[in-house]
Structure 1
Amino acid sequence: MNQRLPIDVLRALQTVIETGSVTRAAERLHLSQSAVSWKIKRLEKQLDRPLIQRDGQRLVASEDGVQLLIHARRILEAHDAALAHFNPVQLQGCVRLGATEQVPMAELSSLLAQFSRQHRQLDVRIVIEQSHVLRQALMDGELDLALHQDFTHRIEARDQLLWTEHVHWCARPGWQPEADAGVRLITFGPGCFYRQLAQERLSALGIRWQVAVECGSVEGVVSAMAAGLGIGLLSSAHLDKLIEVYRPFEQRLPLPEVANVLRFGSENPEPRLQVLHDLLVQALRRG
């Protein structure tokens, strides 16, 4: 057996597992899909065992893949640290980054870990909040950079578009509104633009509604829907077997697409912010 584990092949494996997709991994690594697939197959042949498997729509690590990934992360961390040590450009200071739960957190965490290893004199701090909170924090100077979400027709020229997705009326399978009580809404809170849209759409058709649940997390909102406490809006990425699209409202109350975008807090960002911005755009932009 070949005793070498090439850095580029280990990074390909790590990226496929983190993104759950050969396509997304290829975009982040700036390679073709066939090149990424070939690296994984070559590694599997070298070790004579499967390293990834399919779980629904995602690619995940096999049992052997999980074990190899533990070693791969240590190897890649040491490799990146060595490069950073001899990097003549040393970025310093603090970067305050905001993000929503719409961003794949496993992928974002991996990117920030890699960025921190390569720029050890930079302190990267991250805040997870709703989009309207992040936008206000940018205006108040509390954040330097934010990954936020808004309707496609409302994004601004300063926003870097990463990807768009559909928003749906969602509830547990078999859910129906109560004829006497009107529609019970599950929302992310008073300032959430999903809630405002739902209320506008229902009111426009004269459908009575009341807020039944307010929860700032996606997990909490999905749990409330799955328990049958009401209906609410979710983006495509958060649909699962516990909830489904409520077709009658989808047809009667159509919803716009939302855009996931990256925005600076300043019109003249410093080099350390630009470097992180470019990394996030290259890694997270789809299409």
Structure 2
Amino acid sequence: MRPFDLDLLQTLVAIAETGSLSAAAPRVHRSQSAVSEQIRKLEQHCGLPLLVRGKLGASLTPAGERLVVHARRLLALSGEAFRDVTGTLLAGDLRLAITDYFRPATITTLLKRLRERYPQLHLHVATRQSLMIENRRDFDIGVTMRFPDDDAADEDGRIRLGREPLAWVASPAFAFDRAERLPLVVLPEACALQRLIIRTLNQTDLNYEIAHTATGVAGLHMALAAGLGVACLNRSAIPAGMAIFDAGLGLPAMPDIEFSILPPQAGESGLVTEVRHLLAKELA
């Protein structure tokens, strides 16, 4: 059995992260036609289709999804081996701003793993609302949440980390009297998701009230655990023990949300660029 070509795997990962062959092409410093040819070779090597191409871009087949998991590991190991042999280290201080909707239960573990793997890389992490991350660039790398319908194309330089569905959730112990107003647990009005929730509910006949406003997702989790109301959260931000809530009220369906790493700033250092792509591999 012939080994995988790392260049081909890198191209597949780039497509998975950007969502299209055209967006992946500049990431791997190739033309779109060359990217297409690389995927053809990789599919021929595997004997399986890895991508489904459509008008909105390219998506992974089940085989492609499995291969991307292995590809990221192989590419990370290759980079680690190169740095070890050449004595090149990721070293320095770097400021990371991240929305607290992004995998709150596992992000600290991931950052801890990075610190152990790269002990000379000092990440200074700030948790902020996505709007602040988008508008204030007093950091080196930003991880933000947006709605896929936002006016931002794949070609804007962002690295897409993936989409997640939104769901209405509450504690299984939450007791709701349908004769009362539905109590909501939300973040402050500056939160784009909170504004979407209110705007969507106002288009229905549901009778609701804001029962608790938390300053962050951790506080929202505590309010949910206390049974103070119902929240709308993305999949990775739903805390353990919560249940999907409907109670026959016909709560409106909500759109998916998308997480991405912001594009580089002018004059970005080589260290920041390398860490950005490292984070993309770890977070996607």
Q: 1:130 to 1:254 in 2, by over 3 A?
A: same
The one-character-per-residue Cα deviations of 1:54-103 (angstroms, maximum 9, x if unpaired) are xxxxxxxxxxxxxxxxxxxxxxxxxx8xx66952x566653211113313
The one-character-per-residue Cα deviations of 1:104-156 (angstroms, maximum 9, x if unpaired) are 31113312442x43xx3x54321122322322332xxx111111111122272
Alignment partners' CA distance in 2, 1:24 and 1:99 = 24
* Contact kept? 2:161, 2:258, Cα under 8 Å: yes
Q: Give the aligned partner of residue 141 of structure 2.
A: 145
* Contact kept? 2:211, 2:228, Cα under 8 Å: yes
Comparing 265-274 and 189-198, the one that deviates more: 265-274
Q: Equivalent of 2:73, from 14, 17, 29?
A: 29
Larger helix percent: 1
Task: Say which SS state the counterpart of residue 128 (structure 1) adopts.
Answer: strand
Q: Give the aligned partner of residue 217 of structure 2.
A: 218
How many residues are matched?
Answer: 209
**Aligned-residue offset at 1:231:** 0.8
**Aligned-residue offset at 1:267:** 4.4
How large is the Cα RMSD of the aligned pairs? 3.4
1:111 alignment partner AA: L
Task: Say which SS state the counterpart of residue 154 (structure 1) adopts.
Answer: coil
Q: Give the aligned partner of residue 135 of structure 1.
A: 134
1:30 alignment partner AA: L
1:278 equivalent in alignment to 2:274: no
* Contact kept? 2:188, 2:215, Cα under 8 Å: yes
Alignment partners' CA distance in 1, 2:131 and 2:271 = 25
Alignment partners' CA distance in 2, 1:214 and 1:203 = 18
Alignment partners' CA distance in 2, 1:177 and 1:196 = 23
**Aligned-residue offset at 1:178:** 4.4
Task: Say which SS state the counterpart of residue 153 (structure 1) adopts.
Answer: coil
Q: Give the aligned partner of residue 200 of structure 1.
A: 199
**Aligned-residue offset at 1:277:** 0.7
1:259 equivalent in alignment to 2:255: no
Q: Give the aligned partner of residue 15 of structure 1.
A: none
* Contact kept? 1:155, 1:259, Cα under 8 Å: no
Structure 2, unpaired ranges of 5+ = 1-65
Task: Say which SS state the counterpart of residue 152 (structure 1) adopts.
Answer: coil
| TM-score of the two chains, using structure 2 as the length reference | 0.62
1:146 alignment partner AA: G
Q: 1:155 to 1:265 in 2, by over 3 A?
A: farther
Percent identity of equivalent pairs? 18
Q: Equivalent of 2:113, from 97, 110, 113?
A: 110
